Structure 1
Amino acid sequence: MRDSEEFEFELPADHGDLVTVEGYDGRLFMVIAYQLIRNCLPEEEYNEIVYEVIDAYTGEFLEADGEDVEFVTDADHAAAYVRENPKPAAPVYPDWAMGVMKSLEEIEEYEKGAMGMAERKPTARELSSQLAKEKKAARKKRGEKIDNLLDMRIWAADMLEKTGNEEFGDRVFAIDAELKKLTDAD
């Protein structure tokens, strides 16, 4: 067993800083947490950083390897930076998604009858199955949205407590309102 040792980590970004993440071009993320991991293998030891970030405009949660994170601005200037750089109008997809999307479009064209085939009407069983799948997907999406809002609320409440900045309090109230809408829909 080893004695307690100190390990050095070089952090590209800290809590509240704005960053970009490789593969998510055009998107801006805020660091909400990070993990400092010391990997000890028989042959080698190395440090690793895993960031938890949220999209600065949509609040979407993402985990990113420290090597994929690039610092944009510090937490003190984050709000001003976001105000001065509005969200892009068109959705920005990761680089890898563009090839997949092109392939999906080709498949959909074929399935829609681009080859001159007549379209068949679905049976009652197929319609019922499709409706059940849609309801299940909607429940899953709602659950993911609630989880994301809860993560954002915890972060905003923590930042309010740490900084006393009323903007975080406003964000907590807005998130609570959105959560109420989602949970009252039951």
Structure 2
Amino acid sequence: MNKPDFTFGDLVSVAGYPDIIFQVDGFREERHYYPHEQWDEMVYELIECSRGDWLEADEGDLTLVADAAQADEYLRANPPKAAKLNYEEDLAMYYFGEFGFGGSKKEKEAPKPSARELSAQEAERRKKARKERAEAVDNLLDRRKWYADSEAEDKVERIAEIDEELRRVSETR
């Protein structure tokens, strides 16, 4: 099991809930298995400090405000603002706002891509670059063959230009 970044009683802020302080009530590790991949993630159960509303959040969405040992002192010095988490509005935004059917006036924050998503994007970019390079080489080889078979007066010069271009394309990685 991975060591959690936060523990019981820590005060945290959650992405998407500005100026609201939560306290870690519990956490769990979830394991996901699929045919070609698997991963673990830590999910935290949180209690909102001013009203006691409950929320679950992924580890990547949390920022430490004060550790458990300093929590009481922090809360005395910075009393939490009374805030009501509007789950109905969040759900409406999730289900309807993104698709233009109404929803909340709040701007939805674009989620940061995970390491897995970034890796997949990089792999896709490399695959596309390899495909484009292979197509360029095929095109240049076809042109070279055409000039080699032709009776054009400048065929030697054209073949030399194509060979130079082939060297440049094949050196690019």
| Structure exhibiting the larger radius of gyration computed from Cα positions | 2
Determine which structure has the larger helix proportion and give its number. Answer: 1
TM-score, length basis structure 1? 0.44
Give the TM-score normalised by structure 2: 0.47
